[in-house]
Structure 1
């Protein structure tokens, strides 16, 4: 009778005891410490190598400010010229100083508006000639009623101009203009120069 040998069974693995574990750690503690130190050094090297190429540069307190465009008028809010009792052929003069007090160059203009003749007919403004000079330069010479808007050029900051207004009552004006008057407003305008 033949019998088949049964394979030998391996003994079940036993869990190491606490004492065996402590003994193993004691024998391998240097290896464990060296492995831990190596991991920390590797982490530092990796961090350092990634930090090696970083850079920063700050620009704190950034601000955008605006300049000013401002006009100073030596006769702000009052007439440049007021005349009573003119006769044909008479002339009257008034002056005003205008300054660019802003911190930017400006394109300046003088505009006449709201002209009123009293009485409306015949209009006194039709027989009044206006001459405006900027220093020695004539900027307008013509009927008061046609002055409109006058370009005065580009003024740099702190530029001051003295304007003289001369109104002449035509010598040929007849009696129909007696006891008449004309009023007109003048406005100085400036816009920032783009040139």
Structure 2
């Protein structure tokens, strides 16, 4: 009599499937948590502080010289030159005579003339100079002398804030003034600052008849430098 081995039903796979399903559910949950955390972190607000400088600019100043006679009735500007603007900013003034322009001076007589120089620009002048040119003799040549420039003494005084100082070399004549080079004047010269200058020209007392009818002329150049 033969014995048959008992047969067992095939092992069902639901149990391993349940394990895999549970693991998949856990992983899915973790992924969801990570995504949620990332999503929350990307939208979380933070403290901030900032400053915007909306007006940032720079511009060039102007350096403009004004010369006036003592009465303030005659004015020359450095912009009176070509095109009447700051492109050249160098003018020739023929309406203010620093030596007075008198034609009746006698030996020993002094003629004084006062002018003012003002910085009417927006930038300060760091240096200020006066450069005398060559003195030339001219006029109604009735006298025979040829050295009038050496017979005309000159004293230049500047007044700043009520204080006056002599800026021309001692014992200067129009002839020696030209060879001494530019004269360094008071500086700096801030905008809207005015400096007064007095030019005292004296014909030598020893000048005789040979100097009658003669005249002398000398250019003077004022210069501001920023």
Shared fold per TM-score greater than 0.5: yes
Match of 1:109 among 121, 126, 129: 129
Q: TM-score, normalised by structure 2?
A: 0.59
Match of 2:214 among 170, 174, 180: 180
The offset of 1:102, in angstroms, is 3.1
Q: Which residue of 2 is the match for residue 82 of structure 1?
A: 101
5 Å matches for 1:146-157? 146-147=176-177, 148-154=181-187, 155-157=189-191
Equivalent residue pairs, number: 161
Match of 2:174 among 144, 155, 160: 144
5 Å matches for 1:42-121? 42-45=38-41, 47=42, 52=46, 56-75=50-69, 76=76, 77=93, 78=95, 79-80=97-98, 81-106=100-125, 107-118=127-138
Q: Structure 2, unaligned stretches of length 5 or more?
A: 1-24, 70-75, 77-92
List per-residue Cα deviations over 1:62-93 (Å, max 9, x = no partner): 11122332222114222222111322222211
Q: Aligned partners of 1:83 and 1:40: how far apart in 2?
A: 101
Q: Which has the larger radius of gyration?
A: 1
SS in 1 for 2:135: strand
The offset of 1:167, in angstroms, is 0.6
Quick check: which one's strand share is greater?
1
SS in 1 for 2:195: strand
Q: Aligned partners of 1:39 and 1:166: how far apart in 2?
A: 96
Q: Aligned partners of 2:175 and 2:191: how far apart in 1?
A: 32
SS in 1 for 2:107: coil
The offset of 1:122, in angstroms, is 1.1
Q: Structure 1, unaligned stretches of length 5 or more?
A: 1-27
- Deviating beyond 4 angstroms after TM superposition, the runs of 4 or more aligned structure 1 residues are 31-38, 51-56
Match of 2:148 among 109, 124, 132: 124
Q: Is the 8 A contact 2:66 2:117 kept in 1?
A: yes
Q: TM-score, normalised by structure 1?
A: 0.67
The offset of 1:33, in angstroms, is 9.8
